[in-house]
Chain A
Amino acid sequence: MNMVWFYIGIFLIVSLGLPAVAIFLASLLAPKKPSALKSTIYECGLETEGETWVQFKAQYYLIALIFLVFDIEIIFLYPWAVAFDRLGLFAVLEGLLFITILAGGLIYAWKKGAFEWA
């Protein structure tokens, strides 16, 4: 079992290393003629004004919060699905109750207007 994760490690290192090596080789091949004008920030030919990190819409924040709740709760459902055969009807209904509570949260966020983009 440990060996399997060792191979996964090799695989991940290779898959991260491949693009890194490619970019490194390309940077050796590429011409280097830096100039101040070339490295200015692109904004349709105008000079940028003010901060780059502008204020963002609050909806993005709400969506991120809802996502966090959902994602963590779904991870709990995976073991439930794998052990399905060993569960009695009661445990399955309990899982459904869990999903219903999740759906309740979704409906609450919906009614509160978290998904309206106005």
Chain B
Amino acid sequence: MDFLTDPVTFISQWVQQLLINLGIPEITAAQILPGVGAVILPLLAMLWVIFLIWYERKIIGRLQDRPGPNRVGPFGLFQPFADMAKIFTKEHITPTGADKVPYNLAPILAVGGVLGMWAVVPFSATVFGIDINVGALYIIAVGSIGTLGIIFAGYASNNKYAMLGAFRVVAQLISYEIPMVLALLVPVLLSRSMGMNSIVQAQPVWFLVVAPLPALLFFISSIAEVGRSPFDLAEAESEIVAGFNIEYSGLKFGMFFVGEFLHAFTNALIFTALFLGGWQGPGAEQYPILGFVYFILKTLVVHFLGIAIRGSMPRFRIDQVMQLNWKIFTPIALLSLCSAALVEKLAAGAGDLVRISLHVAANLVIFGVVILVGTKSLKERNARLDDLAASHRSAIHLVLGTPHDA
């Protein structure tokens, strides 16, 4: 094993040899190392946030036609460090009447839940965190801990704005969990496994090609799960000031944003692993470091897409968010799951090319039907609204006289 092609395995084998030479039994040494990895990975993820904050602020700045952070250090790279120093020395104010335990637990859960998802992310052919056989289910379970943190924050702050924000978060996050989990079921079905690494290995052809509709649903729902624009009505500034985090200050406030930035990136990681073939690419099997580079590059592209959407879309209303989810996303997710299962069973004997083109065709048919039905019902709704407006107008004219009377 060469240091240049697979550094992590090389280092871990070297450390293991070192431990054995120190007189520690081989089995214990083999058991200690993953534990050390489990400590290092969350630390690295935490440090990675510093880069993410700079990256996101720079892109949002560019999208809004301004330079973004550019004063502290080269390209403003040290700006997050300056911000960190500032936020570490801010006073922590606890509002009167706050419920102390959930109030203090909320920012910890908001970050911890997201960090926990990193445990099963397959970074390369040899480095895949902890490869449990229920990885997809683990991601869903741990991912919802962050929601719990936000609910805690809104409930415990003893503030009406925070409470209203928490109501919206509960409704939005649990609703979008449905299409997200249903879309996640399609890669699981296609690869016959819930382990993240085996899902990646089952993708010589990306699942984005085989199942474009679930990929789209997963992408949009994961934006909604983070609660960013256009789904950021949990912290709609113009309506409820800051939402659930209004009574927080200092680093407790900062932790919600660390959690948000990290969650956006983590969702991009998971999307890449599920639909973009993860670390798969030319030469990734022989040179695992190459797989890692592919994985991070793909993830940064997906993450960039998310940021671009954040920078260019206006906010939805709560009823629009709910109707988009329950009337459009959930039916599409159910239909595409059914079609994936049927095609997979009926074309089991056929070749890969036939199977994949059948999958794509089924997805296109569902998409076409949804567009047709959607435009039809939208037209009907608009006609109904026009009628209503017309009847209102005539009622007003009955009282005041039409403008053409004079």
Q: Which residues of A contact B (CB under 8 A)?
A: 3-8, 10-12, 14-16, 18-20, 22-23, 25-27, 29-34, 36, 38-44, 48, 52-54, 56-57, 59-60, 63-64, 66-67, 70-71, 74-75, 77-78, 81-85, 87, 89, 92, 95-96, 99, 102-103, 106, 109-110, 114-117
Return B36 CB to nearest CB of chain A, in Å.
Answer: 9
Known: A14-B39, A23-B108, A60-B167. 16 other contacts (CB 8 A): A4-B132, A7-B38, A7-B119, A14-B115, A19-B258, A23-B255, A26-B89, A40-B96, A44-B241, A52-B160, A74-B182, A81-B341, A84-B341, A110-B327, A114-B326, A117-B322
Cβ of A11: which chain B residues have Cβ within 8 Å of it?
38, 41-42, 116, 118-119, 129-130
Q: Judge whether B31 and A3 touch: CB under 8 Å.
A: yes
Q: B111's closest neighbor in chain A, by CB?
A: A19
Interface residues of B in 122-180 (CB under 8 A from A): 129-132, 136-138, 142, 158-161, 163, 167, 170-171, 174-175, 177-178
Q: Judge whether A30 and B90 touch: CB under 8 Å.
A: yes
Main secondary structure of the interface of A (DSSP, over half): helix
Cβ of A89: which chain B residues have Cβ within 8 Å of it?
345
Q: Judge whether A78 and B188 touch: CB under 8 Å.
A: yes
Q: B319's closest neighbor in chain A, by CB?
A: A117
Cβ of B116: which chain A residues have Cβ within 8 Å of it?
11-12, 15-16
Cβ of B175: which chain A residues have Cβ within 8 Å of it?
63, 67
Q: A5's closest neighbor in chain B, by CB?
A: B132
Q: Which residues of B contact A (CB under 8 A)?
A: 31, 34-35, 37-39, 41-43, 45-46, 87-97, 104, 107-112, 115-116, 118-119, 129-132, 136-138, 142, 158-161, 163, 167, 170-171, 174-175, 177-178, 181-182, 185, 188-189, 192-194, 241, 246-247, 250-252, 255, 258, 318-319, 322-323, 326-327, 330-331, 334, 337-338, 341-342, 344-345
Q: B335's closest neighbor in chain A, by CB?
A: A103
Cβ of B177: which chain A residues have Cβ within 8 Å of it?
67, 71
Cβ of B97: which chain A residues have Cβ within 8 Å of it?
41, 52
